[in-house]
Copies of this chain bind each other. A is one copy, B any other.
Amino acid sequence: MSPVAIEDPADPRLAPYAAMRERDLVGRAGRFIVEGEVTLRLLASTRSRFRAESVLLAPERWPGLAADLGGIGAPVYLAGKAVMSAVAGFPIHRGVLAVGLRGSEPDAEALVPPAPAPALVLGLAGLTNHDNVGGCFRNAAAFGADAVLLDAATCDPLYRKAIRVSAGAALITPFAQLAAGADWPALAVRLGLELLALSPSGAETLDGLAPPRRTLLLLGTEGPGLAPALMARMRTLRIPMAPGFDSLNVATAGAIALHRLASRSGSVPGEEY
């Protein structure tokens, strides 16, 4: 498909890119915004479960991306950075944007490899910071997690900044949002996963753990963490830290745990022990 030059910021084909920050806050009715070359390449690849609706590039970015966008199956619009910035409402320095379509949301059950296959699933409970959710997805992808499950309070991984911080992992790591009031222990039983909750007040140390073959690793809210009543119903892990300093960032703590779990669950090939 040949790219189409657009010079008028009011062109209706650019409407999905308009007032980008304001729309981040209210949502986009089944659409999401992808920024930057690395993330666009992932969206265009067969590794993404999402389809692009359109791509919007500064003309000088087209030659470097043309080969990778050949099969994207969506129109590619070319507009100067001044036009792109006028539409978006703030400077678009990199000149690479796309609109993706969310499609239907999968069920958690469909994403988790059935037993007895090994499985590594990340659960996010009450993570309301987009950077942290993006970071969790990046780490999940790096350590080959099969899926990420999010409770109803956790923010959208397809929020613009979350995708960017995830380095595109939000596009390629399957995820499902659970219904409000979802019960993690019951879900783990249903999926045949051993539930391990990471918390600064966890009962066992991460390093003392014999990693299970099938794990649901649960991370809780940045501030208060997982609720004590919930923790009482789970096996809980802590990462020992130096005394007197608050704690690790939740995505960072999750990365340390994923690293340990992945290296034993077969999610990361080529590791030797």
Contact = CB atoms under 8 A, between A and B. Distances in A.
Given A38-B246, A207-B263, A252 B141 contact: no
Nearest to A134: B249
A63 interface: no
Contacts of A259: 239, 256
Contacts of A144: 241-242
Helix, strand, loop or mixed for chain A's interface? loop
Contacts of A252: 135, 138-139, 251-252, 255
A205 B255 contact: no
Contact of A47 (B205, B208, B244, B273): B244
A248 B205 contact: no
A240 B263 contact: yes
A247 interface: yes
A242 B240 CA distance: 26
Contacts of A242: 141-144, 262, 267-269
B138 A241 contact: no
Interface string A252-273: 1001100100110001111111
Nearest to A259: B256
B142 A271 contact: no
Given A246-B38, A249-B135, A259-B256, A208 B239 contact: no
A233 B233 CA distance: 51
A234 B34 CA distance: 39
Interface string A109-140: 00000000000000000000000000100110
Nearest to A246: B167
Contacts of A262: 242
23 contacts: A47-B244, A135-B249, A135-B252, A138-B248, A138-B252, A139-B248, A142-B241, A142-B247, A143-B242, A167-B245, A205-B272, A207-B271, A207-B273, A240-B263, A240-B268, A240-B270, A241-B268, A242-B262, A242-B267, A242-B268, A242-B269, A251-B252, A256-B259
Interface of A: 38, 47, 135, 138-139, 141-144, 167, 169, 172, 205, 207-208, 239-249, 251-252, 255-256, 259, 262-263, 267-273
Given A141-B245, A242-B269, A252-B252, 4 more contacts: A135-B252, A144-B242, A207-B263, A241-B268
